[in-house]
Amino acid sequence: MKPSLLRAVLALSLCLRVALLTGQAQPTTPGAPYSFPPADLMRIGVYYYPQAWPAEQWPRDMANIKKMGMEFVHMGEFDWAFMEPTEGKFDFAWLDQNIALAAAQGLKVVLCTPSAAPPVWLTSAHPEVLMIDAAGRQMQHGTRQQASWSVPLYREYVGKIVAALGRRYGQDPRVWGWQIDNELSHYGKEPDYGPASQTSFRAWLRNKYGTIGALNRDWGNAFWSQVYQDFDQIRIPNQQEEVAQMNPHSLLDARRWFADETAGYLRFQTDILRQYCGHNQWITTNHMHDFAAVNPALTGKDFDLVTWTIYPVHGNANEGPLGFRLGSSATLSFAADFMRTINGQTGIMELQPGQVNWGEVNPQPYPGAVRLWLMRAFAAGAKFVCTYRYREPLSGPELYHNGLVGTDGVTPSIGGEQFMQAMREIAALRPLWRADARPPATYTARRAAIFYSFEDRWDLDNHKQNQAWDTYGHLLKYHTALKRLGAPVDVITEDKDFAAYPFLIVPAAQLVDAALVARWQTYAENGGHLILTCRTGQKDRRGFLWEGPWARPILDLIGARIKSYDTLPAPNVAHVKAGDQTHPWSTWGEILDPAAGTTVLAHYTDQFYAGAAAAVTRPLGRGSVTYIGVDSADGALEAQLVRGVYARAGVAVEDLAEGFCVDWRDGFWVATNFNAGAQPAPVPARARLLVGDRNVPTAGVAIWQE
Ligand code: GAL
């Protein structure tokens, strides 16, 4: 037998063994996802790590969690060493005790699979489960997330502990739901480059391409003699072991594989748990809010709701002079508007309670900012918000990380007080919830979608042409432009129905095919207002440029040719003018040549192409197509041009300051102010103000009902 064939057979038999052992081969239990009662609005809860505290304090802590107004407690996340202190010997007595204490207080319980923190007996006996980083170093015990989920043996162990948890608690009415693993990511060292991952990558490629010839063709391997003779010769692309530029097509496939691999691992655990809990308990994982390597949409059907983690203030700049204390409304909103569309139900699993310890600088949040984030989550539809963590640790790697209570273990922290306030406010709204409340037509007329593709993001990030180009920042500029109009926004993936939205923005959607462009065209012809932005349509799905004019497939749609593009090294800045406003730009600008019937909206005012078109629009069928070929420095051009599209469509909009969001949720209007100045809330005279004032201060919140 050829060594490659032998390896494949061995790998297959191991997979089958794991599948049989763990039930992986079972399909996810059919049935409707767990449904969160709308009248509950949003529940609030907190992480608690019983094993980190003396057992005699457990009853006091649980009672105080309840007294603070919390409604659920989250436990067991990294506790594998306590759940299975030695191989095959489980100990759940401590967890049973804490579940009983929580239930006695009327707190719901969220449990976790502990796979992000393997016990030392496991990794000592089987070091082959430890991940290998890009430099070839094997990770070791002493922190967390050191194991590779691509190693079948690791999955075997994970499968056993997940099944043990499912057997014990899957039918327990005190348990509300489950979190799988923790922020699946390998902490930026992604992927694992160990032998199991290499095997998995090759299997993925074999499955995708069938023959090595097809792979060589679609990776453009004729150049630099990159051709392979066999899939077994391929390794996961890794700059640490490649002396020159990496192949962009192999990189794109590696990112696709990694996203599929992590989704498969989440599904592997979910399928085991489902056998025990069905949909009577919900299952989710806590995705990072913007960790582009893992695509939450891939597991949308597996989970009952999609949850995510966010730490808005950790020394990052964010928008405005107070952004470093307030966080970014754009980031919070974009994540919420994306996660919510995946399967319709969303929540925040970790929300920063105060100062953290892992940023380069860890400032205090602005007074009231924690409540502001909670209410931003409420406005964006969260079914629950959980905070990391209850007690500020006195030992371990997260010293200096705030909790809901301080170092004495009982006194509410600054953030703790704000959680209590938010919980009181939500509880006061619940009796006012009405099942028949519907958003007003003036609001739904503004409904917009932003087209979001992880593959585009990966490909753009692999080949920026200007290191200052920021794909995520480009998307956020359009999200901010829409929120300033007071528009409800969904961030949608390609599989969604565009027709549900009067406005559709497609930012930098680089990888296209004829079918996708035809869908955009049909959307506009049928009355949609389509906005495409720079870098859209430049490549096919493999990441190849088109043979023909630049961005060939979209030229008829936008009514212009793209003659060339430019990008400037810092500190050079160029300018573009729209109407009477001039805007700086430097990262990307396309020089457009409009066809007859296309109107120029903006033109360059300097460089050797001064006077050339930068943005154009044209009517199409019952709708319109606008192409914005430049990425401005501050998003003001994007805000101006998007506003223009709404004006030409005759749709009435608001004129809200940046960072001041006004949203409708379940019959309530919610205004949240991330702007450094106080803002007037658009509260009609007849409305009933329930929270806050008409003049909303910085970090303030106003809630009203009409
Ligand atoms: C998150 C992580 C938590 C905790 C937290 C600290 O990224 O999921 O486990 O470490 O950071 O802020």
Give pLDDT tens digits for 354-390.
Answer: 999 999 999 999 999 999 999 999 999 999 999 999 9
Same domain, 570 and 610: yes
Q: Express each pLDDT in 652-679 by its tens digit.
A: 999 999 999 999 999 999 999 999 999 9
In a domain, 34, yes or no: no
Whether residue 388 has its Cβ less than 6 Å from ligand 1: yes
Give the torsion sign (CA, 300, 492, 629, 550): positive
pLDDT at 26 exceeding the cut of 70: no
In a domain, 57, yes or no: no
Mean pLDDT value across residues 106-120: 98
Give the torsion sign (CA, 292, 297, 302, 304): positive
Closest CA to 661 of 332, 311, 318: 332
Q: Could you give the residue ranges of the DSSP H alpha helices within 543-622? A: 555-558
Least confident of 230-234, 258-262, 317-321, 486-490: 317-321
Whether residue 350 has its Cβ less than 6 Å from ligand 1: yes
Same domain, 462 and 598: yes
Please identify, by atom number, the ligand 1 atom nearest to the C-alpha of residue 116.
9
271: domain CATH number is: 3.20.20.80
Least confident of 61-70, 183-192, 602-611, 659-668: 183-192
389 CA from centroid of ligand 1 (Å)? 9
Closest CA to 174 of 109, 239, 92: 109
Whether residue 604 has its Cβ less than 6 Å from ligand 1: no
pLDDT at 30: 61
pLDDT at 292: 86
352 CA from centroid of ligand 1 (Å)? 9
Q: Which domain holds residue 690?
A: 660-705
Q: Express each pLDDT in 155-177 by its tens digit.
A: 999 999 999 999 999 999 999 99
pLDDT at 5: 41
Same domain, 675 and 585: no
Cα 327-328-329 angle, rounded to 5 deg: 120
Same domain, 117 and 258: yes
pLDDT at 186: 79
Test site for ligand 1: of 49, 75, 180, 183, most ligand atoms within 8 A of the Cβ: 183
Mean pLDDT value across residues 477-490: 98
pLDDT at 648: 98
In a domain, 440, yes or no: no
Same domain, 220 and 276: yes
Residue 344 CB partners (closer than 8 Å, separation 6+): none
466 CA from centroid of ligand 1 (Å)? 32
In a domain, 452, yes or no: yes
Closest CA to 281 of 174, 423, 196, 398: 174
Q: Express each pLDDT in 127-161 by its tens digit.
A: 999 999 999 999 999 999 999 999 999 999 999 99
**pTM for this model (two decimals):** 0.94
Residue of minimum CA distance from atom 12 in ligand 1: 356
Test site for ligand 1: of 145, 350, 392, 400, most ligand atoms within 8 A of the Cβ: 350
pLDDT at 685 exceeding the cut of 80: yes
Please identify, by atom number, the ligand 1 atom nearest to the C-alpha of residue 356.
12
In a domain, 88, yes or no: no
Q: Which of 296, 315, 330 is the last residue of a domain?
A: 296
Whether residue 157 has its Cβ less than 6 Å from ligand 1: no
Q: Express each pLDDT in 83-94 by its tens digit.
A: 999 999 999 999
Q: Express each pLDDT in 291-341 by its tens digit.
A: 888 999 999 999 999 999 999 999 998 999 999 999 999 999 999 999 999
Q: Which of 275, 296, 317 is the last residue of a domain?
A: 296
697 CA from centroid of ligand 1 (Å)? 30
Read off the pLDDT band of 275 (50, 70, 90): very high
Strands 306-310 and 282-288: parallel
Same domain, 532 and 674: no
Q: How many alpha carbons lie under 13 Å from residue 317 in its C-beta half-sphere? A: 3
Same domain, 612 and 587: yes
Residue of minimum CA distance from atom 9 in ligand 1: 182
Same domain, 632 and 671: no
477 CA from centroid of ligand 1 (Å)? 27
**The tokens of 322 are what?**
């107070």
Cα 138-262-280 angle, rounded to 5 deg: 130
Beta bridge partners of 491: 450
Q: How far apart are CA 646 and CA 506, in angstroms?
A: 16
In a domain, 183, yes or no: yes
Separation in Å, CA 353 to CA 87, 358, 381, 394, 629 = 36, 14, 20, 16, 40
Mean pLDDT value across residues 590-613: 98
Same domain, 553 and 463: yes
Same domain, 546 and 640: yes
681: domain CATH number is: 2.60.40.1180
Q: Which residue has the tokens 């559709």?
A: 504
Least confident of 227-236, 291-300, 529-538: 291-300
Separation in Å, CA 513 to CA 142, 538, 558 = 47, 10, 15
The structural domain count of the chain equals 3
Length of the chain: 706
pLDDT at 28: 42
398 CA from centroid of ligand 1 (Å)? 9
640: domain CATH number is: 3.40.50.880
For the chain, give the percent of residues with pLDDT over 70.
96
Same domain, 577 and 623: yes
Q: How far apart are CA 404 and CA 384, in angstroms?
A: 17
> In this structure, are residues 674 and 369 in contact, taking their beta carbons and an 8 Å threshold?
no
> What number of other Cβ atoms are within 10 A of residue 54's Cβ?
9
* pLDDT, mean over the chain: 95
Whether residue 311 has its Cβ less than 6 Å from ligand 1: yes
pLDDT at 604 exceeding the cut of 80: yes
82 CA from centroid of ligand 1 (Å)? 20
In a domain, 566, yes or no: yes
Q: Which of 243, 265, 296 is the last residue of a domain?
A: 296
Read off the pLDDT band of 188 (50, 70, 90): confident
In a domain, 419, yes or no: no
> What number of other Cβ atoms are within 10 A of residue 97's Cβ?
14
354 CA from centroid of ligand 1 (Å)? 13
Same domain, 151 and 233: yes
